[in-house]
């Protein structure tokens, strides 16, 4: 295990979270599963994130950390994303907010759109840029799964969360001889028998 410090104490908050803290919880959690391969399933992965939140983050992070977007950005890029990539889980804003950090997903959506709580503009412009970068990373992960894995879930998520649309299928360019009469509207259900009959004379 490495002692790499994950969250920088550049604002005098005395934050001490190390990679070894995360790795220890990760190892213990996986060993507690009935089958270690279950960690690659979303529900079990959520359990790991929740364990990290309950054991490390909620006890170490300072009061008011949910409004500290520089700190949250460190958690997103140094804790959350590496875990997602390790277990082949597409990162999502909802998972990062609700499970790992306990922050309000609706508030994050407002920050992305430049609106702070109670309708006031964002006080820190960096917050909007930071949150937009999270959305871009999550969108990129879904797009990769949709294109490379043909994941139906990823395609659905792109449509619902990021307003993606499917391009309509191109119709074949069929050239028809003007001397040929189109009778494709006739079927074998007796249409021919119902055509009027004419005498030869």
Q: Look at residue 97 in the predicted model and tell me its pLDDT.
A: 93
- Count of residues making up the chain: 201
CB count in 10 Å sphere of residue 108: 21
Q: Report pLDDT digits (tens) over 51-107.
A: 999 988 888 777 777 778 888 898 999 999 999 999 989 899 999 999 999 888 888
More confident residue, 59 or 197: 59
Long-range contacts of 130-137 (CB under 8 A, 24+ apart): 130/69, 130/70, 130/72, 130/73, 131/69, 133/73, 134/73, 134/76, 134/93, 134/96, 134/108, 135/93, 137/76, 137/81, 137/91
In terms of C-beta distances under 8 Å and separation of at least 24 residues, what long-range contacts does 193-197 make, across chains too?
none
pLDDT tens column, 104-153? 888 888 888 887 766 666 666 788 899 999 999 988 877 776 766 666 66
Q: Determine whether 104 is exposed, middle or buried from the number of CB atoms within 10 Å of its CB (0-12, 13-18, 19+).
A: middle
Whether residue 40 contacts residue 53, with contact meaning beta carbons closer than 8 Å, is answered with: no
Number of neighbours of residue 107 by Cβ within 10 angstroms: 16
Helix, strand, coil shares, percent, the chain, to 5 = 60, 0, 40
pLDDT digits (tens, 9 = 90+) for 5-22: 666 555 555 577 778 888
Position 155 scores a pLDDT of: 66
Phi, psi of 68 (to 5 degrees): -100, 95
For residue 182, the model assigns a pLDDT of 57
Q: Quick one: pLDDT at residue 80?
A: 95
Q: What pLDDT does 50 receive? A: 94
Question: E strands of the chain, at which residues?
Answer: none
Q: Predicted confidence band at 1 (pLDDT cuts at 50, 70, 90)? A: very low
Place 33 in a pLDDT band, splitting at 50, 70 and 90: very high
Q: Which DSSP string do the residues of 123-178 spell out, in sequence order?
A: S-HHHHHHHHHHHHHHHHHHHHHHHHS--HHHHHHHHHHH---PPPPPPP-----T
More confident residue, 17 or 159: 17
């Amino acid at each position: 295990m490495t002692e790499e410090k994950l969250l920088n104490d550049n604002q005098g908050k005395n934050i001490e979270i190390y990679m070894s803290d995360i790795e220890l919880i990760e190892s213990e959690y996986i060993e507690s599963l009935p089958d270690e391969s279950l960690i690659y399933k979303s529900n079990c992965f959520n359990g790991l994130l929740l364990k990290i939140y309950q054991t490390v983050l909620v006890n170490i992070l300072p009061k008011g950390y949910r409004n500290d977007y520089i700190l949250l950005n460190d958690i997103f890029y140094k804790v959350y994303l590496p875990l997602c990539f390790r277990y082949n889980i597409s990162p999502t804003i909802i998972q990062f907010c609700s499970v790992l950090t306990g922050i309000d997903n609706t508030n994050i959506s407002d920050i992305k759109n430049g609106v702070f709580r109670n309708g006031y503009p964002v006080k820190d412009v960096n917050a909007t840029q930071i949150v937009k970068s999270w959305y871009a990373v999550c969108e990129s992960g879904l797009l990769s799964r949709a294109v490379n894995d043909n994941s139906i879930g990823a395609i659905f998520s792109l449509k619902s969360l990021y307003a993606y649309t499917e391009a309509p299928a191109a119709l074949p360019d069929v050239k028809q001889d003007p001397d040929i009469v189109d009778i494709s509207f006739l079927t074998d259900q007796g249409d021919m028998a119902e055509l009027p009959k004419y005498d030869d004379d």
